Structure 1
């Protein structure tokens, strides 16, 4: 594999910075990925030379901005293999996308006595909206349990998904233990009972090639900042017929067709879901991020990251007094390792690692039901991206050992 890691790293100026006088090892990519030069340059160029509002103007700047903005819809369509660019809705984030589906679609299809099924490992963004929908509609929220290794229990899934199920909402890849969920089996179970499959793709979009048609997902949501784009831009994919059925949840300019004193009609999807001035620069930056990932190749990214994950996971598991959550082999996870040092609070672990230049996340990772199942209140989490290298892994391993020594053996 001809992976030019040093050339790739030069595209990310922040990686050459020092943190607390130490070499930076940025390992919080599951929260936010760094932006490459082509993304920041594209956004800068838009603000310098093409900045105007979209769709509304007939003058040159507006037409250029509109062409660039709408061009990203086609790039995203190709990137996730959607059938049409009209199936791509721009949002602020995965969170907003999932809330839009829960409110605009869920309220239409879920009734009293129906069931909504999610997994116990879901991020709060793919849990709380369904809790609220169940409460509004008098439905029942049910959970798919996990196997001891953290993988989704398909036998339990088959029990939870019944003729009463209307919605199944699961993460493509888990944000705490990085498990790649068995989407093909879940899709079959979901559609066999006539339910709708909604996928949180936030942790998958930067690690593997996503094909929404092969997944047969009814809706798929992800965020730009997880894949090297600016913050504040997200995507909701929905099958065309379902987006036409779905009601808008925000109202105002741009999404209307006609307004009278007594009634309003709306544009067709996707514009009916994009009320007001959109995040134009964010969308243009998303397009540049898609171009960047496409140039690297998602299959190549997945292969390279697996080469880092295997040794990293094995070396963390081998440290005495460290507990790793989820599968103990790299073949069963993508991007993420959550762990604890016995007797040391995860926040102290993250603070200690930060002093050594290693940036990891600590907390419940917006997955408190999973934390309860793991019988912990929080974990430390190291997460990879395609620009990480072996030096980052070495620095993490050395850092964990130093933090453990400091907190447990200092006299």
Structure 2
């Protein structure tokens, strides 16, 4: 009997560890992606011509229907992989590895913008002003990039700083209005998105930003001295922006987990009233949060205008990245390294979706459906636990988890 008790205690500890892992947020995020891909596979099969042709023979030839469905799903996701990671059908190792560089190119602005949204989430703020912050940052960096004539290092650094300052200014305005007037950041960021969009649209029709001699609302090309240099050579679209985004991820991690300011950020995110009683200036934290968040989102605009859009940009340069960043932050559970992984995944969806459409005639809208389903499942963890029969974590604590993907007050809207 004495030998069984320690053994039973060890088994209980193992079960407790397994239960904690399986009920954790990281597992929920991974399973949400798996479930979304599974449903996407069903949609792919349902829209495939060969599957629909085999559907009337379900009872006479079920194997044919299943084979057609499998071919459709495997072909689509195979093309997605080849367009996003590795394509063995191309000639030469360089071309075979080019898809992963395209994934990282698409992921670069998504990660930067996702970091800005995630940082605000950790402080209890809902920053959906990514579009406006990106546009202002792109306009500032672009103006410096095509107006000034400076040496390479100086010009690039100045354009980068101008873009970060523009994004920080646009985000800090939200924090200032919230701190001074109590204005809700959701309403303010939505309105500032419109202001930034129409302001940039207007400026692109004036000599300030419009290319000389052009009637189109488009800027001049960025000077070579201000453009982000390619990381792997001119045959790839991947630029130094990826290194900047990885550095921003490290900075955000250090800020939240290793700095005194990050401690105040998380304290306000958990309970602003308790933080105020403890002597933390909550209003100042709101302003500082949105300044830094705006700069991070602005980095996304900078990497766009000094990278892929260096030939000239329009008012659509954000390409929906400001709103996609919300999805990236949700999937990354508002943690910097999670945002890095989520942004890379969504970059793979974007890069591989085009080949999937071209090679397998699968609508690229299926990728958007999968992304939307991921958000749905991330926002409904009990649904994911129910599907995969995962243990329900213990509840009963009233405080808001600072790493929760959606601030408690936003969930109540």
Greater fraction of residues in strand: 1
TM-score normalised over the length of structure 2: 0.23
Q: With CA pairs under 8 Å and 6+ residues apart, which has the higher RCO, 1 or 2?
A: 2
Larger Rg belongs to: 2
TM-score normalised over the length of structure 1: 0.23
